[in-house]
Structure 1
Amino acid sequence: SLASATNAGRSASHGSDGAKAWDGEGGEAGETEGFAFGIGHDGDADRIVIVDADGEVVHEDTVLAVLAERYTHESDAADPVVVTTPNASGRIDERVRAAGGRVERVRLGALHEGIAAVREDAAEAGALGEAGAVGESGAAGEVGDDTRVVFAAEPWKHIHVAFGGWIDGVASAAVIARLVADEGLEALRAPITERPYRKVSVSCPDDAKETVMDRLETALPAAFPEAAVDTDHGVRLEFEDASWTLVRPSGTEPYVRVYAESDDVDDLVAEVEDVVEDAVAAA
């Protein structure tokens, strides 16, 4: 059984926290006795939140990881790709890789651009005759004509590409309900590692942000030489244990934001913060 709630009085423009959808009539968090899980939507049902049988919200990145892993596992593509955003958890990468796929990231709010970019790269690779090796070996990570976007999502908002190119919380509800009915919510969550998460802000004048970020593109990799580096959307470092940090300038306030997820998140944030503060001081 499931409990369901839709907050028709709150539109997507009134906050990005999908958990607030679980305020609808008859769906207060905690009112889940007799239910296996609950589903909440915002007013236009593009966002979705899941609560467990105890009324606790399931982390949005865990929900994303469950769906991403399932779509990757069920795909017959040689190179299945999940598109997500830089602020999304490394737990997604872990589960997608375990299922034989890979993750591509695109700036927040631009999932459609990310989907189009993967498809364009695949088409170009196929036209150049590079797809054969991928099709023969099935090696994820090589772009070819058997590269396929199987799922795209940012926290709370999912695109089920097999159904259509739009953000669809109703499709998410249907897919999750089927998975829970088959396997149970706890079994779906069991393989996923949820690490501590922190977000901090470092003061930085708006006119110094570009210089600071230029410095950080070299300073952060130098400080963490063991990390994989992505500088497409800020500076994102990913470590072998799936810990990660993202440093990017705020678009609206005089800050550089530091996001991190790690078993030792306080230590990681402190080290990253030191590098950011040095870059600001030198700007």
Structure 2
Amino acid sequence: MNVTKIKFGTDGWRSIIGEDYTTQNVARVSEAVAVWLLENYDLPSVVLGHDCRFGGELFLQTAAKVFVKNGIAVKYAKGFVSTPMVSLGAVRYEASLGIVFTASHNPPGYNGYKLKAHYGGPLSPAKVQEIEDGIPDHANEYRDFTWEEVLETGLASSVDLEREYIDTVRNAFDLEAIQKSGVRLAFDAMYGAGQNVVRQILPDTKELHCEHNPSFKGQAPEPIAKNLQELSAFIKASKSIDCALATDGDADRIGLYDAKGEFVDSHHIILLLIHYLVKYKGMTGKVVTAFSCTPRIERMCKHYGLDHETVKIGFKYIAGIMVDEDVLLGGEESGGIAVKGHIPERDGIWMGLIIWEFMAKSGKTLDDLIEEVYEIVGAFKFERSDLYITEELKQTIIANCKANKYTSFGKYQVQRVETTDGFKFFFDDDRWLMIRPSGTEPVLRTYAEAPTLEEVREILRICEETITH
């Protein structure tokens, strides 16, 4: 019998439900986690939560059985919860680990297994590797153990992680100021695990896709423009929304829309957050961003006298620095952002609330605030295009990048290349293109920035033409 080799990627282990993502394989991973916990902690404990996907409760209970069999205390969320809720829960309950059964923004057929450290952020890559190296070929301990028997041991108890998260939000934000400001808001949960939060804290907010639908209507719950057409159309049709927030399947990533129904990318969001936290709230600290982010973040950091560091893609690299250093903001191009004063974890709703509070307190529109950012870093546009190509072609393109085969893309001459994580081709100070294989999906990602959207799309088109022919 072939044993599936389980590998943790950029952000946890993810696989297709019923193929590799089975109770047996979830139990194998949990067995490795249990052994690791017992080696590293005198009295280990875990906080468990699952998102809205198929089988969430089944997979959570499977893992809980393995932990309880190993004498490990379990606190589990009843019903679906977001990743930030579990990360916050790990801190609140002083757990050794938080575990989230989620495939985040992946298509509906997937599920996954995320490991969160005691500090409420991704477990370090070295420790994840230790667990991965210990995954056994089989795990049968859970099969003859009923859920009733698990509860009878007294080692497992339920906790209300959503309630605790909402209470934390209420204490951190001036929700009254947002309510009274007259700012008209919308929230698209993409059928994800953040769907219950906004209606409880800001009940006047218009809602889209805030009901339980494990198939996400067949749509990958990733908050990028091509997946949020309904939200954009809703804003344009209603003409009465000032800003809209969207979050992904496990609500750790943010998508944002302006009053015109136009997508506001993560680079702009990161710049807005730094601008607000420093200029308006008087906060300081280092800024850490992933390799795929705009160089304009560095420009803004220089403007405000902040240290800036670029790291490889994967929020775990940012979280590690946030735990050890005084970090104001850590962020990725894909919508995962964390800020000082909260856990070292991506949190889409939290970031959206900062922007909404910024609008409410300043009395300015989102466009006005973006103009303030442009005054510091210059106007720009950005877009990402995912190329679904054969593995063979993907490897050829990466080999060509490594061999410096691409010295120009059409009329765009490459001035320099950065290779921290992928290949970033700079044409001048305001234009660049990046090529990188995804760490979680079978795609080649291409990214571009330029002063206008037309030019961004032209660069992406020329890039695809150049590398696929």
Structure 1 position 66 matched with structure 2 position 272: yes
Instruction: Return the alpha-carbon distance in structure 2 between the equivalents of residues 206 and 92 of structure 1.
Output: 35
Indicate if the aligned counterparts of 2:424 and 2:435 stay in contact, CA closer than 8 A. Answer: yes
- 2:113 maps to what in 1? none
- 2:253 maps to what in 1? 47
In the TM superposition, residue 163 of structure 1 has moved relative to its aligned partner by 1.5
Percentage identity across aligned positions? 19
- 1:124 maps to what in 2? none
Instruction: Return the alpha-carbon distance in structure 2 between the equivalents of residues 274 and 161 of structure 1.
Output: 42
2:290 aligns with one of 72, 84, 89: 84
- 2:316 maps to what in 1? 112
Runs of 5+ unmatched residues, structure 1: 121-146, 279-283
Q: 1:270 to 1:178 in 2, by over 3 A?
A: closer
Instruction: Return the alpha-carbon distance in structure 1 between the equivalents of residues 388 and 224 of structure 2.
Output: 26
RMSD: 3.9
Q: 1:156 to 1:236 in 2, by over 3 A?
A: same
Counterpart of 2:360 in 1: which secondary structure? helix
Indicate if the aligned counterparts of 2:191 and 2:221 stay in contact, CA closer than 8 A. Answer: no
Q: 1:104 to 1:34 in 2, by over 3 A?
A: same
Instruction: Return the alpha-carbon distance in structure 1 between the equivalents of residues 302 and 186 of structure 2.
Output: 32
Instruction: Return the alpha-carbon distance in structure 1 between the equivalents of residues 245 and 393 of structure 2.
Output: 43
Instruction: Return the alpha-carbon distance in structure 2 between the equivalents of residues 161 and 169 of structure 1.
Output: 15
Indicate if the aligned counterparts of 1:6 and 1:43 stay in contact, CA closer than 8 A. Answer: no
Matches within 5 A, 1:155-234: 155-183=334-362, 184=364, 185-190=366-371, 191-192=373-374, 193-195=379-381, 197=383, 199=385, 201=387, 205-206=391-392, 209=395, 212-219=397-404, 226-227=415-416, 229-234=417-422
- 1:37 maps to what in 2? 243
Indicate if the aligned counterparts of 1:91 and 1:194 stay in contact, CA closer than 8 A. Answer: no
Which TM-score applies when normalising by structure 2? 0.42
Q: Residue 329 of structure 2 aligns to which amino acid in structure 1? A: F
Which TM-score applies when normalising by structure 1? 0.65
- 2:36 maps to what in 1? none
Structure 1 position 248 matched with structure 2 position 436: yes
Instruction: Return the alpha-carbon distance in structure 2 between the equivalents of residues 99 and 151 of structure 1.
Output: 13
Runs of 5+ unmatched residues, structure 2: 1-182, 195-215
Indicate if the aligned counterparts of 2:321 and 2:327 stay in contact, CA closer than 8 A. Answer: no
Q: Which has the larger radius of gyration?
A: 2
Q: Residue 199 of structure 1 aligns to which amino acid in structure 2? A: S
